[in-house]
C-alpha cells in the first residue's frame, strides 16, 4: 500500500508539472491543438501539418503558420493572419482576418473583415456567410 501511495504521488507530481508547463505561453507555440485565450498579445502560433487552433481572446495580433486542419476565431477585436487551413470558422465580433489559403471560410459572427487569397486545394474557398455586417474580399 505504501508503494501504491508513493507511485500515485509521483504520477500526480508529473501531471501537475506538465499542466503547469502548458500554461506558459511562448511567443511561438507548436502543437496539434491549441487555444489562444490571451488579451492584447502579439504572437505566432504554428499548427504544423494538420493542427487545430481556437482563438478566444481579444485585441490580439496573431499569425498562424503551417497548414491547419481548422482555425476557429471566437474572440473580439483580433487581427489574425492565417497561412493555410482546410477550414476557418469565425463566430467572433469585430475581427480582422487575412486568410492566405483555405477551402472553407464560414462566418457567423458580426462586424468581421475577412480577406482571402485562394483555396487550399480548390481554386477559391467556399464562403459561408451567415453572420451580419461582415465584409469579404479577395486579396489582390
pLDDT of residue 32: 74
Q: Identify the DSSP state of 50.
A: T
Confidence check: pLDDT of 29 > 70: no
Average pLDDT over residues 118-128: 96
Average pLDDT taken over every residue of the chain? 84
Confidence check: pLDDT of 14 > 70: no
* Of 129, 92, 133, the residue nearest 109 (C-alpha): 92
Is residue 92 within 8 A of residue 76, CB to CB? The reply is yes
What is the reported pTM? 0.77
pLDDT digits (tens, 9 = 90+) for 41-100: 999 999 999 999 999 999 999 999 999 999 999 999 999 999 999 999 999 999 999 999
pLDDT of residue 11: 40
Which DSSP string do the residues of 81-123 spell out, in sequence order?
EEEEEEEEEE-SBS-EEEEEEEEEEEE-SBS-EEEEEE-SSSS
- Tell me what percent of the residues of the chain surpass a pLDDT of 90: 76
Round to the nearest angstrom and report the end-to-end CA distance of the chain. Answer: 69
Average pLDDT over residues 29-50: 88
Q: What are the residue boundaries of the structural domains of the chain, listed by start?
A: 28-138
Give the number of other CB atoms < 10 A from CB of residue 18. Answer: 9
Amino acid at each position: 500500500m505504501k508503494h501504491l501511495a508513493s507511485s500515485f504521488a509521483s504520477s500526480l507530481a508529473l501531471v501537475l508539472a506538465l499542466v503547469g508547463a502548458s500554461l506558459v505561453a511562448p511567443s511561438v507555440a507548436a502543437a496539434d491543438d491549441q487555444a489562444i485565450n490571451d488579451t492584447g498579445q502579439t504572437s505566432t502560433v504554428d499548427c504544423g501539418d494538420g493542427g487545430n487552433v481556437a482563438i478566444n481572446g481579444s485585441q490580439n495580433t496573431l499569425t498562424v503558420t503551417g497548414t491547419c486542419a481548422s482555425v476557429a476565431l471566437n474572440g473580439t477585436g483580433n487581427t489574425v493572419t492565417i497561412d493555410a487551413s482546410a477550414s476557418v470558422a469565425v463566430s467572433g465580433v469585430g475581427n480582422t482576418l487575412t486568410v492566405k489559403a483555405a477551402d472553407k471560410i464560414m462566418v457567423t459572427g458580426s462586424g468581421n473583415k475577412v480577406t482571402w487569397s485562394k483555396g487550399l486545394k480548390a481554386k477559391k474557398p467556399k464562403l459561408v456567410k451567415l453572420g451580419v455586417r461582415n465584409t469579404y474580399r479577395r486579396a489582390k
